[in-house]
Every structure is written in structure tokens, then in C-alpha cells.
Amino acid sequence: MYFWHSIGNRFLTLLSNMLTDLNLSDMETCYKMVRADLLKALPLRSNRFGIEPEMTALLSQAGARIWEVPISYNGRTYAEGKKINWRDGVAAFWHIIRFNILSKPRIQWP
């Protein structure tokens, strides 16, 4: 993983953890397994990189139990198809603020 991508990822995860009161090691992991009934109850609106902060915020607000399972990761280079840049980090920051502070939808899930 590139140095600045790693720093950005840690910052976004820290901010998300502060606002959700979770202790995730990587909020932007893109690997999430969610019970079907809970996933259907989440009023998801995002796409692209907004989906990770939105799902994390909504799962936290729903009181879902969250476990982390270790994965291995080999980062790609831009030549290999990596498409993320600083604008995606800014968008993720905005989505963290949006879904944790500006709008908190009510989730109908037992």
C-alpha cells in the first residue's frame, strides 16, 4: 500500500471510529458480510466509496454486532489498475460526516 494511501486510510478509519464508537482496524476494507435481514433494513443511498462509511455508520446505529476477521491484502499499483486518488479520500471524509452527523436515519431492525 502506498504511504499516503495508508495514512489517509488510517485517518478515515479513526474519524469513523470516533463518530460510531467502534474500534475497527480498517473501515474501508470493502469486505463485509451482513445478515440478509439487516442488510435489507439498511436505507443505503451511496455508491462508489461512500458505501463503506454509510454501511459502517448504519450498522453502528442499528446496534449490530461487528467482528473483524483478518485478511491478507496486496496493494495494486496504478499500472495494475488502482483507481483511487485524493478526491476519493475527500469524498469518503464527506460521507463519514454526512452519515454520522448530518443525517441519522431510523433503522427498523430488531
Number of helices and strands (H, E) in the chain? 4, 0
Q: Please, what is the end-to-end C-alpha distance for the chain in angstroms?
A: 39
- In this prediction the pTM is 0.84
Residue closest to 61 by CA, chosen among 85, 78, 44? 44
The pLDDT tens digits for 3-45 are: 888 899 999 999 999 999 999 999 988 788 899 999 999 999 8
Residue-level pLDDT at 56: 94
Residue closest to 20 by CA, chosen among 89, 99, 90? 99
The pLDDT tens digits for 3-13 are: 888 899 999 99
